[in-house]
Chains A and B, each alone.
Chain A
Amino acid sequence: MNALALKAYDLRRDVLDIIVNGGGGHIGGDMSSMEIMLTLYSRMNVDPMRPDDPDRDRFVLSKGHCVETLYAVLADKGFLDIGEVKARFSRFGSEYIGHPHNTLPGIEMNSGSLGHGLSVCVGMALAGKMDKRNYRVYTLMGDGELAEGSIWEALMAAGHYKLDNLCAVVDRNHLQISGNTEDVMGHHDLHARFAAFDWHVIDVADGNDVDQLNAAFDGAEQTRGQPTIIIANTVKGKGSTLMENKASWHHHLPNAEEYAAIRKELQERKEALLHE
């Protein structure tokens, strides 16, 4: 069993603690995007000892509301202290706010307002080309977020400039705050839409599967002459039957009973993985 797949369940417990201690968070998307961020950071050239290395890979969390997962992953990488994050998230005067902030180590850009990340990454990727540096640039967007028009401006620009050092990931969990994405604002054939903007499109059948994600990131790295977008089909609220595939858990705050049940099920799923 891939160690990252097990770790994903440990970090989900961290995310649960961060949210419950802080009195709120976006738990549904946090859980769906866990393997995406964890797999990405296991591959990226980033080092907490050299956070300003000009050759480092860049990641921008465009769906900034899933910052709790980013905090857990950054803490796992050594950028943050998870105890500090849990104790101080969303508290008065805290630097651990409810969206990414680049005064914290390991965070490149502030986000939270949707539809900015890909455009910013186009700039980062252009800079890499200008400077002939080999770093790669990644962003993670939500599927509901794709209704933002600025994303399609950025898709156009990245295709136009053939930014093969850029890889975008869509956390395709099919749910947003008001319900099913296809009911709120339909995406229809996302693959065809992205391909029409001159992107290399990779579909990941199970976006909560580390091996499948690794294969997709390999495919992105090998692609020349165009940017890659990975459509990662995930499960919103992944990790507990209480939360899974329920739009109402977009930013639901678990009560004590729910907290205990989720924690228990996360442990059970981890153990089940161990015995696979």
Chain B
Amino acid sequence: MNKIANRAVMCEVLKEAASQDRDVIVLCSDSRGSASLASFAEAYPEQFVEVGIAEQDLVSIAAGLASCGKKAFAVSPASFISTRSYEQCKVDCAYSNTNVKLVGISGGVSYGALGMTHHSAQDIAAMSAIPGMRVYLPSDRHQTRKLFEALLQDKQTAYIRLGRNPVEDVYEEGSVPFEMDKATVLSEGTDVLLVACGEMVKPSRDAAELLNGQGISAGVLDMYCVKPLDREGLLKAANGKKLVITVEEHAPFGGLGSMVAQVISANDPKRVINLALPDAPVITGTSQEVFDYYGLNAAGIADTAKNALEE
């Protein structure tokens, strides 16, 4: 089992970049520890800005830095940066066209028993609704590295959601298929397509294996790029399937499921089932307990697919 969290990989990539480029700046809102960025702050104090517990200020200051040529990475818990700073993300980053990368750490239900204040189940919907804002949810540490390396090369704002805990590898080091804004095909299939993002990719792939063992051929698409959604890749993968199932650690509205359904219904109408968190405060528990309770695990995804195909 992998012990390295995606956030730790982000820190490594940003440290590597900062060593070569003094314009790489990291900002935190008393969040350097939870973001795994304490070692960045220690190694590059001149390229690190602490703003205190002030998430609105965090995002606007990042935008001001970016307007002066800095590559600003504003890092704060996903629940706060996505909704408390929402207007700053909209106006100062997207609308003003500044190169601010907004990193939401401890995304989804990572904070487990801390409750709804600390869960970010609205961030995909909120961020995706902003013109010019891109939304990425990498699935494992290897893809996280590729994504951050790519983001360091462009000059447009983006929102990146990372989970708190280490997640099992989806890809193998050294052979990570990655193309910016293109979904990754994890497996082909003929009966059902599973489309997932972030931490839901691994259980979706495991679900495909369970289904294959039961004679159901399942394809899996890692849609780490929720916006811009890879429409072409989605339609190609969905072609010929009887059913599409989306899996996300997000509220049931406005997230990956909504976007996938929009594309499928307009271009290749077929049944789309959205597996997501409920439209309610989630049950108390660790993130894995929460996933298991709501069927956001391999067995739950496989059962949903099997039952739907048998209907």
Contacts and interface: CB of A to CB of B under 8 A. Distances in A.
A160 to B, nearest CB: 8
A181 interface: no
B115 interface: no
A102 B69 contact: no
B152 interface: no
Contacts of B60: 116, 119-120, 122-123, 150, 154
B204 to A, nearest CB: 39
A110 interface: yes
B300 interface: no
Contacts of A116: 60, 87-88, 91-92
Interface in B50-67: 51-52, 54, 56-57, 60-67
A253 interface: no
Nearest to B97: A102
A111 B60 CA distance: 11
Contacts of B62: 123
A-side binding surface: helix, strand, loop or mixed? helix
Given A119-B57, A122-B64, A113 B51 contact: no
B-side binding surface: helix, strand, loop or mixed? helix
Interface in B199-218: none
A160 B88 CA distance: 21
A15 to B, nearest CB: 24
A126 B64 CA distance: 9
Interface string B92-108: 10011110000000000
B64 A131 contact: no
Contacts of B141: none
A119 to B, nearest CB: 3
A116 B96 CA distance: 12
B49 interface: yes
A186 interface: no
A195 interface: no
B1 interface: no
Contacts of A115: 56
B99 to A, nearest CB: 12
Contacts of A109: 63-64, 67, 92, 96, 98
Interface residues of A, number: 30
A126 B96 contact: no
A198 to B, nearest CB: 14
A127 B52 contact: no
Nearest to B63: A120
Contacts of A108: 67
B52 A126 contact: no
Interface string A98-112: 000010000011111
B68 interface: yes
A157 interface: yes
Interface in A149-206: 149-150, 153-154, 156-157, 160
B96 A110 contact: yes
Nearest to B27: A123
B63 A123 contact: yes
Interface centre among A113, A123, A127, A128 (most CB of B within 10 A): A123
Given A116-B91, A157-B51, A131 B61 contact: no
A130 interface: yes
A126 B66 CA distance: 11
Interface in B144-170: none
A122 B65 CA distance: 8
A152 to B, nearest CB: 9
A122 B60 CA distance: 8
A157 to B, nearest CB: 6
Given A110-B95, A119-B61, A124 B56 contact: no
Interface string B6-18: 0000000000000
B91 A126 contact: no
B179 interface: no
Interface in B27-80: 46-47, 49, 51-52, 54, 56-57, 60-70, 72
A110 B95 CA distance: 7
Given A123-B63, A124-B67, A157 B96 contact: no
A157 B52 contact: yes
B61 A130 contact: no
A120 B64 contact: yes
A54 interface: yes
A127 B96 contact: no
Given A111-B91, A124-B67, A150 B96 contact: no
A128 to B, nearest CB: 7
A126 B54 contact: no
A141 interface: no
A46 interface: no
Given A126-B61, A153-B57, A157-B57, A120 B92 contact: yes
- Which 10 pairs of residues, A with B, have the shortest CB-CB distance? A123-B64, A119-B60, A127-B68, A153-B57, A153-B54, A123-B61, A120-B64, A123-B65, A150-B56, A124-B64
5 contacts: A54-B68, A120-B92, A125-B64, A127-B70, A153-B56
